[in-house]
């Protein structure tokens, strides 16, 4: 059975009557391949996906037929259709999986409301507790359960226990100090979420965004610090695509040092990619994600290139009999051209893994070693970091970094201070200025991000171009380093928001960040 994906204006409004729907992934090899990060269609209506921990509940509506009850709601970027098998036993697996991290808010007639952060607290749910844990409390990488809601509220803080990683050393020096001047009044700061009329407090926003931990710096001092769920001050959390901004910064440093020519073709440094879609792209186009490549991140499409990417890198389990690329290097060679380079911004994680290859090639060191030598050891971090690797030991430069939260804040504070921290110029001032200046706004506008009007993208940083000059590192499920130079504020946040795309937490997050900045500027104390 085939259903067309039809965009409606109503689906774009994100009205309060639309709610999220989440389920746990069944232990089914086919459905695991449907597991997604973003840009996914959600199939709902006649067969509603409810949630209980580790259980699937498929609730048929009383009225109507299957054909007129199944609705397909899509994210605005999706174009096309999706095949729905007639076999109801298959539908039981397909629908929950597709809805898992859907990039829409979907109507759920008669369905249960979205579970709250408190209801899905991984400590309260008892994941991985016991010796051994009870069978229904076990989280595994091999069956894909580590990346299902609400289980990933635990696994985002325990990645090293589930997958292969390499270390990012902090060195042997003492941690750099972060003075404290904590303020209890910040919890009461109010703002109005985008598209809403009722105010919300900063404290309420933390729960609404499924915050696992947040640190706020003002003028280099910790004014606010909180931890929830599985994350603690001495723990580490998945940074997701915040990873990109670290390596984008290193890439920009290599350009400033003359080790990379921003206008040179990728193939000049990586001849292995000369016949790929990246061969005639420039280093600058990779850094700013304006490459014209055939790479779909439509997770509703089982043939989308994203699946080859994550399987090759061992980010998600491979199905039985898998015969595709078996490393990031192998996959990158298969990417084909599509369209023209340098015409439009298109967020595609694969660019970051090309950048990782460029960094390795011109420095002779892994990206983790570069991160340790250039940033981690010089910033005086409290903890080592770690990064996910494929089966050949190649780091996932597009999203594999895991760090302590205060260390994330240190990096943001260094960027706020134009590359200077811990008594030294760690990143050239000109590099930070280039990032803060942003990329081509017309290129960015073509990607149509409703929550980021007037923004741009430069060296794998999101530049808001607002009155405060804010810029950010952003990762799915709510990971953030938010730097506000005018307010002299840095916010480092780790989260496990059920929906992957930040478009779903931005309506709460962005005005909350601005409200905090306004408070710190008007009442600095």
Give the tens place of pLDDT for each residue, 478-510. Answer: 999 999 999 999 999 999 998 888 888 999 999
The answer to whether position 151 is within a domain reads no
The answer to whether position 327 is within a domain reads no
pLDDT surpassing 80 at residue 225: yes
The answer to whether position 170 is within a domain reads yes
Q: Which two tokens stand for residue 10?
A: 């109503």
How many domains would you assign to the chain? 2
Q: What is the mean pLDDT of residues 32-37?
A: 28
Model confidence at 298, pLDDT cuts 50, 70, 90, reads low
The answer to whether position 328 is within a domain reads no
CA separation for the pair 125, 127 (Å, rounded): 6
Do both 433 and 364 map to the same domain? Answer: yes
Q: In the chain, pLDDT over 70 holds for what percent of residues?
A: 78
pLDDT tens, residue by residue, 82-138: 333 343 333 333 333 333 333 233 333 334 567 899 999 999 999 999 999 999 999
The answer to whether position 272 is within a domain reads yes
Q: pTM for this one?
A: 0.82
Quickly count: other Cβ atoms within 10 Å of residue 112's Cβ: 16
* E strand or H helix that includes residue 267: helix 266-269
The residue out of 68, 99, 130 marking a domain boundary is: 99
Do both 345 and 470 map to the same domain? Answer: yes
pLDDT value at residue 60: 31
Do both 435 and 501 map to the same domain? Answer: yes
Do both 57 and 176 map to the same domain? Answer: no
pLDDT value at residue 525: 86
pLDDT value at residue 301: 56
Which residue in 36, 38, 241, 276 is the catalytic one? Answer: 241
Do both 174 and 71 map to the same domain? Answer: no
The answer to whether position 315 is within a domain reads no
Model confidence at 6, pLDDT cuts 50, 70, 90, reads very low
Model confidence at 232, pLDDT cuts 50, 70, 90, reads very high
Do both 376 and 517 map to the same domain? Answer: yes
* In contact, 327 and 334? CB cutoff 8 Å: no
Do both 511 and 378 map to the same domain? Answer: yes
pLDDT surpassing 60 at residue 70: no
Do both 82 and 178 map to the same domain? Answer: no
Coil, helix or strand at residue 244: helix
Q: What is the mean pLDDT of residues 207-233?
A: 97
Do both 89 and 165 map to the same domain? Answer: no
CA separation for the pair 22, 499 (Å, rounded): 9
Residue 449's domain is classified under what CATH number? 3.40.710.10
Residues 6 or more apart whose CB falls under 8 angstroms from that of 135 comprise none
The answer to whether position 454 is within a domain reads yes
Do both 193 and 58 map to the same domain? Answer: no
Do both 163 and 258 map to the same domain? Answer: yes
Q: Which domain holds residue 16?
A: 2-99
Per the annotation, the verdict on 232 as an active-site residue is no
pLDDT value at residue 377: 96
Cα–Cα nearest to 154, from 61, 264, 250, 238: 238
Do both 87 and 173 map to the same domain? Answer: no
């Amino acid at each position: 059975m085939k259903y067309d994906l039809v965009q409606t204006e109503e689906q774009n409004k994100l009205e309060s009557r639309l709610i999220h729907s989440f389920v746990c992934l069944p232990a089914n090899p086919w459905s695991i391949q449907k597991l997604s990060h973003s840009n996914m269609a959600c199939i709902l209506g006649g067969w509603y996906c409810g949630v209980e921990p580790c259980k699937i509940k498929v609730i048929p509506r009383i009225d109507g037929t299957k054909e007129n009850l199944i609705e397909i709601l899509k994210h605005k970027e999706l174009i096309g259709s999706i095949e729905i098998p007639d076999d109801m036993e298959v539908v039981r697996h397909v629908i929950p999986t597709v809805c898992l991290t859907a990039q829409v808010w979907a109507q759920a007639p008669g369905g249960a409301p979205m579970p709250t952060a408190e209801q899905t607290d991984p400590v309260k749910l008892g994941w991985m507790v016991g010796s051994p844990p009870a069978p229904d409390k076990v989280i595994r990488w091999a069956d894909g359960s580590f990346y299902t809601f609400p289980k990933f509220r635990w696994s985002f803080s325990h990645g090293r226990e589930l997958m292969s990683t390499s270390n990012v050393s902090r060195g042997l020096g003492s941690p750099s100090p972060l003075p404290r001047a904590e303020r209890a009044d910040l919890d009461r700061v109010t703002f109005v979420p985008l598209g809403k009329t009722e105010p919300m407090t900063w404290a309420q926003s933390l729960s609404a965004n499924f915050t696992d931990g947040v640190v706020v710096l003002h003028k280099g001092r910790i004014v606010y610090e909180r931890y929830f769920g599985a994350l603690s001050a001495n723990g580490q959390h998945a940074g997701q695509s915040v990873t990109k901004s670290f390596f984008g910064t290193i890439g920009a440093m290599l350009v400033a040092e003359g080790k990379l020519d921003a206008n040179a073709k990728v193939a000049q440094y990586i001849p292995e990619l000369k016949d790929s879609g990246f061969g005639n792209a420039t280093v600058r186009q990779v850094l700013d994600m304006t490459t014209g490549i055939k790479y779909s991140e439509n997770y509703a499409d089982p043939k989308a290139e994203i699946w080859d990417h994550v399987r090759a890198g061992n980010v998600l389990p491979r199905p039985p009999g898998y015969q595709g690329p078996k490393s990031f290097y192998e996959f990158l060679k298969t990417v084909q051209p599509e369209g023209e380079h340098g015409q439009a911004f298109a967020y595609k994680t694969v660019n970051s893994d090309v950048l990782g290859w460029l960094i390795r090639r011109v420095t002779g060191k892994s990206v983790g070693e570069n991160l340790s030598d250039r940033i981690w050891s010089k910033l005086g971090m409290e903890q080592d970091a770690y990064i996910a690797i494929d089966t050949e030991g190649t780091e996932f430069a597009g999203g594999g970094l895991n760090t302590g939260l205060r260390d994330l804040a240190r990096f943001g504070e260094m960027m706020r201070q134009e590359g200077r921290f811990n008594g030294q110029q760690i990143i050239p001032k000109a590099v930070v200025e280039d990032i803060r200046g942003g990329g081509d706004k017309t290129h960015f506008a073509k990607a149509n991000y409703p929550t980021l009007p007037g923004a741009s993208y430069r060296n794998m940083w999101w530049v808001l171009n607002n009155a405060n000059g804010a810029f950010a590192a952003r990762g799915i499920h709510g990971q953030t380093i938010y730097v506000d130079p005018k307010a002299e504020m840095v916010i480092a946040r780790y989260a496990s928001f059920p929906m992957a795309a930040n478009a779903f937490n931005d309506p709460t997050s962005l005005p909350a960040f601005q409200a905090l900045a306004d408070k710190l500027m008007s009442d600095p104390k």
